[in-house]
Structure 1
Amino acid sequence: MSSTSATEDFLRERVAIVTGGGRGMGRAMTLALAAAGMHVIATAARERAEVEAVAEEAQRQCGHARVLPLCADVTHEDDCERVVAAALQRFGRLDVLVNNAGRGMKYVSPQFLTEPTRFWQTDPAVWRMVIDTNVNGPFFMARAAVPTMLQAGWGRIVNLSMNRETMRRRGFSPYGPSKAALESETVIWAQDLAGTGVTVNALLPGGATHTGMIPEGVDASVRAGLLVPEVVVPPLLWLLSPAADTVTGKRVVANRWRAGHEGDALEDAGC
């Protein structure tokens, strides 16, 4: 049996939540988990039509319904608890949480790639929105999900991160600081959950990726060099497999991923 088949056998009928599951990497991960036989709750803060479209696409690919689309804002604690409750009510379990929902630099300025905005020029409302989504949102989701995972004695939390160089990039407030905080959350939560069977890791594409984080109108030469969202799928599936049972508090750089050479893509978490 191939390692891919073994992973799919292990994941079949398990249940995952993917926040921000309607586009970009969230869409790619939702479809991949459904194809691996998992039940997936895909959330979107406002764009319900997007997660419904992903659910329909997954059903066409799998032959039956695998994705439950929900409208839920990760910045609202009650919404996060409602998503976890929906997983338990619908499927009777929750095994995986993928904290993918995020807000990027395009909310600060559409020209963020070419004309950096200094931190003191950033609208405080935008700063709060990005921090609330990228830092508080994963906390609210993990806080709601972990008790069920602890009771089961097994679980996976995967936080979507970014390159450390980009965290320190000039003009990249508040997105850079928000992801640095998320990596701190990753390593601290991994220590808090040590020995429980629940792991916490960060997953990052390894470069700028063709997602909604990149505004329209970006130069074609820049777009040509973007990674595809699906780059995160192979390492994600590995992180959910029994092979990664002892991997926690790590960051996985997706564009370094080579099956059989997992160590090449692993780094210690924290910025």
Structure 2
Amino acid sequence: MQRKAYVPGVVALLAALLAGCTGGSEEGGSTDNSNPGRPGTSTAAAQPGKYTTLPEACGVVSRSTLDSLLPGIKQLTDETQRTTAYAGEATLTYDTDRKVGCRWKVESTNATDHLLVDFERVVSYDNAVSDDSQAETLFAQQVTAADLPVPVPSTTATPSGSATTAATATTTSPSPSSSASPSASLSASPSASSTLTPADLQPRLLDDLGDEAFVDDALSSSGSTAKQRTVTVAFRTSNVIVTIEYEEQPATVGVVPDSKEMQDKARKLAAQLADSLAG
């Protein structure tokens, strides 16, 4: 008696099983379980930052600005030395798409001035975190490291010695002669340097520069040499963080670099850099 062949039936059954296993992919769904709450779908990647490149750091500061921050440049009589001073020196970096910087150092008859400009383009490697959010986190860490005084209402003395409430005066419109930013409307809490730096020039957050910004102001405490002042202005715009460090050490012991003048110059440069990034 001849046996019946059942092979075609087995083949058909296997084909049906295989079709059931691969049916999900034929409909274009995802099976990577990237979003457990929605089977067959994937999580959308976070938005990339606005900036994909960085400027050439040593060429972003104009000569007129360098003349203002580094007055010793104009005192250089040798043309080669002056050209070198304007050119600056690029900081060491291993990825110019992510981080660039430039520094200048010039001596004059009155002081030695240093300037550092640093650009960092932040890129998030987490699909759930945008470049801007990552930059915001890193900038918050920079603010924390600066250890800015906590702004609080305070009572200050008038030139005649009578007391006046700073909170009342600073919450109203500033006088035309005031150079403090709106963010400095509340004076900083007392600190060791408060006797050397007016309250409205204390380290503080700024609200008129980029997405967020701050200014720091530190005076060296060494008594054996001329005091060096370092003013730092840092700001974030989208996924780029810019840091400016401006230092001055007078040639004469006992001379203290002017806080307001240095802050004004550093903040003016920061505003120019912010405008150049904005295009």
TM-score in same-fold range (> 0.5): no
Q: Which has the higher strand share?
A: 2
Per the normalisation by structure 1, the TM-score is 0.24
Question: Comparing both chains, which one has the higher relative contact order based on Cα–Cα distances under 8 Å and sequence gaps of 6 or more?
Answer: 1
Per the normalisation by structure 2, the TM-score is 0.23
Q: Which has the higher helix share?
A: 1
